[in-house]
Chains A and B, each alone.
Chain A
Amino acid sequence: MSTLLKATDVVKHFRAGRGRAVQAVNGVSLEVRSGETLGVVGESGCGKSTLGRCLVRLTDLTSGKVEFQGRDITTLSRRALRPLRPAMQLVFQDPYASLNPRRTAGDAVAEPLRIHRYGDAAAIRKRVGELFDLVGLTRAHLDRYPHEFSGGQRQRIGIARAIALNPALVVADEPVSALDVSVQAQVLNLFSDLQEELGLTYVFIAHDLGVVRHVSDRIAVMYLGEVVEVAEAEELYAAPAHPYTDALLSAVPEIDDGTGASRRERVVLTGDVPSPIDRPAGCSFHPRCPVAQARCRTERPALRPVAGRQVACHFPNVPGTAAGA
Chain B
Amino acid sequence: MTAAVETVAPRAARPSAGPWRQALRRLARNRSAMIAAAGLVLIVLACALAPVYAGSIAHTDPFTSNASGTAVVNGARVPVLAQSTEGLGLGVTPIGPTWNPGSFFLGADNQGRDVMARLLYGGRNSLMIGLSSAALCCVLATLLGVLAGYFGGWIDAVLSRFFDVIWAFPVYLLAICLSVVLLTSGLHVGPIHIDAGSLALPVVIIALIYVPYVARPLRGQVIALRNKEFLHAAVGLGASDLRIMRREVLPNVLPTVVVFLPLMTALNMLTESALSFLSVGVQSPDASWGTIINDGLALLYTRPAITIAAGLCVGLTAVALNVLGDGVRDALDPNARLRGGA
Query: Which residues of chain A in 155-189 are interfacial with respect to chain B, using CB atoms and an 8 Å cutoff?
Result: 158, 161
Q: Is A138 part of the contact surface with B, judged by Cβ < 8 Å?
A: no
Instruction: Give A244-269 as 1s and 0s: 1 = Cβ < 8 Å from B's Cβ atoms.
Output: 00000000000000000000000000
B173 at the interface (CB under 8 A from A): no
Q: How far is the CA of A143 from the CA of B233 in the complex (A)?
A: 20
A94 to B252, CA, bound (A): 18
Question: Within 8 Å CB of B236, what residues of A?
Answer: 56, 58, 85, 89-90
Which single member of A78, A86, A102, A143 contacts B235 (CB below 8 Å)? A78
Could you tell me if B238 and A86 are in contact, using CB atoms closer than 8 angstroms? yes
CB closest residue in chain B, given A89: B236
Q: Does B247 contact A (CB under 8 A)?
A: yes
Find B237's partner among A99, A143, A144, A161 (CB 8 Å cutoff). A161
Question: Which residues of chain B in 13-51 are interfacial with respect to chain A, using CB atoms and an 8 Å cutoff?
Answer: 15-16, 18-19
Is A99 a contact partner of B238 (Cβ separation < 8 A)? no
B61 contacts chain A at the CB level, 8 A cutoff: no
For the complex, what is the distance from the CA of A85 to the CA of B233, rounded to whole Å?
11
- Answer whether residue B232 sits at the interface, using C-beta atoms and an 8 A cutoff: yes
* Residue in B16, B238, B251 with the greatest tally of chain A CB atoms within 10 Å: B238
Interface flags, B238-259, vs A, CB<8A=1, else 0: 1110010001100110000000
- Please name the residue on chain B nearest to A92 by beta carbon: B229
Per DSSP, are chain B's interface residues mostly helix, strand or loop, or mixed? helix
B11 in contact (CB, < 8 A)? no
Q: State whether A85 and B251 are in contact (beta carbons under 8 Å apart), knowing that A92-B229, A94-B229, A98-B229 are contacts in the complex.
A: no
Give the complex CA separation of A102 and B258 in angstroms. Answer: 15
Contacts A92-B232, A101-B252, A103-B251; A115 near B18 (Cβ below 8 A): no
Total interface residues on B, using CB and 8 Å?
21
Structural contact, B16 and A112, CB atoms closer than 8 A: no
B238 and A90 within 8 A (CB): no
Asked if A1 CB lies within 8 Å of chain B CBs, one says: no
A99 touches B230 (CB 8 A): yes
Determine if B233 and A92 form an interchain contact, defined as CB atoms under 8 angstroms apart.
yes
Chain A window 83-122, contacts with chain B (Cβ cutoff 8 Å), 1 for yes, 0 for no: 1011001101110011111111000000110011000000
In the complex the two chains form, is B228's CB within 8 Å of A111's CB? no
Name the contact of B239 in the complex, choosing from A56, A90, A111 (C-beta under 8 A): A111
Chain B: minimal CB distance from A15 (Å): 14
| Closest chain A CB from B299 CB (angstroms) | 54
Measured between C-beta atoms, what is the minimum distance from B306 to chain A in Å?
49
Assess whether B230 is in contact with A97, with CB atoms less than 8 Å apart. yes
Instruction: Check: A82 CB closer than 8 A to any chain B CB.
Output: yes
Contacts of A100 in B (CB 8 A): 230, 248, 251-252
With a cutoff of 8 Å between Cβ atoms, the chain A residues found around residue B15 in the complex are 143
A115 touching B238, Cβ below 8 Å: yes
Q: How far is the CA of A91 from the CA of B135 in the complex (A)?
A: 39
**Cα A158 to Cα B234 with chains together (Å):** 11
The reply to whether A112 and B229 contact each other, CB–CB distance below 8 Å, is: no
Q: Mark A65-92, 1 if CB is under 8 A from B, else 0.
A: 0000000000000110111011001101
- Contact check, A115 vs B243: say whether CB atoms are below 8 A apart: yes
Task: Return chain B residues, CB-CB under 8 Å to A102.
Answer: 19, 251-252
Q: What residues on A are CB-neighbors of B229 within 8 Å?
A: 92-94, 97-98
Contact residue among B16, B19, B232, B239 (Cβ-Cβ distance under 8 Å from A115): B239
Chain B residue with minimal CB distance to A144?
Answer: B16
Q: How far is the CB of A231 from chain B (nearest CB, A)?
A: 29
A70 to B248, CA, bound (A): 33
Cα separation A59 to B302 with both chains bound (whole Å): 74
Check A111 against B237 for contact (C-beta < 8 Å): yes
Q: Tell whether A237 is near chain B: CB-to-CB under 8 Å.
A: no
Measured CB to CB, the closest approach of chain B to A121, in angstroms, equals 15
Asked if B234 and A148 sit within 8 Å, CB to CB, the answer is: no
CB distance from B334 to the nearest CB of A (A): 9
Given A101-B252, A143-B16, A148-B16, are A58 and B237 neighbors across the interface (CB < 8 Å)?
no
List, sorted by A's number, 18 A–B pairs whose CB atoms are closer than 8 Å.
A58-B232, A58-B236, A79-B240, A81-B238, A85-B236, A85-B238, A86-B238, A97-B230, A98-B230, A102-B251, A103-B247, A103-B251, A104-B18, A111-B234, A111-B247, A143-B15, A145-B19, A161-B233
**Seed contacts A56-B236, A111-B239; 11 additional CB < 8 Å A-B pairs:** A78-B235, A85-B236, A86-B238, A100-B248, A100-B251, A103-B247, A112-B237, A143-B16, A145-B18, A148-B16, A161-B233
The 6 A-B residue pairs with the shortest CB-CB distance, nearest first, are A85-B238, A102-B251, A98-B229, A97-B229, A82-B238, A144-B16
